[in-house]
Structure 1
Amino acid sequence: MMQLYGALILFMSLTTASGLRCYTCTATHPKSCTDTKSCPVIFNRCFSLRVEGYDMVTKGCQTSLACVGAMKCCEGNLCNSAKPTGASVILLFASSAIITLFL
């Protein structure tokens, strides 16, 4: 059981150490935003910003301190997509199940 717990901590540490990845673009349709990038260390959130009156959306990396107003920020790799990605949803459910079973 301790080996599984240790492997889980190692996996979470490696995921965090690799840096945050966010969708990044300026586009007219959120679903057309498919470019991704690794964020610099100072950025800890992904963001989406749609300005009223303009048919544009901007996505990228941001700090939690700048996440105010119309800027919608989220935590986690590629969380600023137009729809939830399959891999991130599966990892969320798997980690929740492991924590529930062993803690």
Structure 2
Amino acid sequence: MHFAVLFVGCALFSTAFTLKCYECVPGADLTCTETQKTCPSSTQCAAMRVTSYAGGSKIVDVTAKSCATPAECLTGSMNFGISRTLLNSKCCTTELCNSQTVPESSSGTPNGKQCFTCNGQDCLTTLDCLGDENSCISTTTEVSGQKVSMKGCASRSFCAGSMSAQLPGISVKLDCCEGHLCNDAQSLAASLLLLVAPLLSVTLFH
């Protein structure tokens, strides 16, 4: 009898704390088909939008919907000087509440903080941070065996600790620091910058 009560109680607990959300995860072509998904407990419904700019021109605009933990509901930007990527997320806790498309993040204005960025193989060029970019970042990305270094500014929401991510054939490591011009480690090649920034952004959806 006790086991039966325990089983029914667990089943009711599981049912009560799951949430149905819309899911639309971009594929290789950065488009997706919207479906419905029952999310695990302790997650929320999330809608996200990533935009990337290079030289003032928009080069990536990706939207996604899925289940997400509260820690994954990030809003902020990563700024590498030659390119800048903005993430805007909206999370909610009611049935199918992530139906709307999230608007783009605002571009922001200089906030007085500076970090180092890479210009070719020179990673000692200074960059003015924008909006809520209050941390300096250093990234190392490996694409098909070739390592790429990037430096710049980032929002603190991306920098609760060292972050790493992985996509097929791509490995990304992101380290953050606080303080003026604190990301002044040794210079590394910064080629493929326009390729890596959008890929780093898409990683946040997974």
TM-score, structure 1 normalization: 0.52
Q: Distance in 2 between matches of 1:48 and 1:35?
A: 13
* Corresponding position of 1:48: 138
Task: Quote the offset at 1:41 in angstroms.
Answer: 3.1
Task: Quote the offset at 1:22 in angstroms.
Answer: 0.3
Q: Which piece of structure 1 moves more, 60-69 or 39-48?
A: 60-69
* Corresponding position of 2:80: none
Equivalent residues of 1:22, 1:79 under 8 A apart: yes
* Structure whose CA Rg is larger: 2
How many residues align structurally? 63
Q: Distance in 1 between matches of 2:125 and 2:146?
A: 21
Task: Identify the match of residue 65 of structure 1 among 141, 157, 161.
Answer: 157
Q: Distance in 2 between matches of 1:73 and 1:39?
A: 14
Please tell me whether residue 75 in structure 1 is matched to residue 168 in structure 2.
no
Structure 1: state its 5+ residue gaps. Answer: 1-17, 84-103
Task: Quote the offset at 1:54 in angstroms.
Answer: 2.2
* Corresponding position of 2:117: 24
Equivalent residues of 2:119, 2:125 under 8 A apart: no
Aligned to 1:42, the other structure's residue is in SS state coil
Identity of aligned residues (%): 38
Q: Distance in 1 between matches of 2:134 and 2:158?
A: 11
Equivalent residues of 1:19, 1:41 under 8 A apart: no
Task: Quote the offset at 1:51 in angstroms.
Answer: 1.3
Task: Quote the offset at 1:26 in angstroms.
Answer: 5.8
Task: Quote the offset at 1:64 in angstroms.
Answer: 1.6
Task: Quote the offset at 1:82 in angstroms.
Answer: 1.3
- 4+ residue runs of structure 1 moved beyond 6 angstroms? none
Question: Whose RCO is larger (CA < 8 A, sep 6+)?
Answer: 1
Q: Distance in 2 between matches of 1:77 and 1:41?
A: 16
Structure 2: state its 5+ residue gaps. Answer: 1-110, 165-172, 187-206
Task: Identify the match of residue 36 of structure 1 among 116, 126, 129.
Answer: 126
Note the aligned Cα RMSD (angstroms).
2.0
Aligned to 2:115, the other structure's residue is in SS state strand
Q: Which has the higher strand share?
A: 2
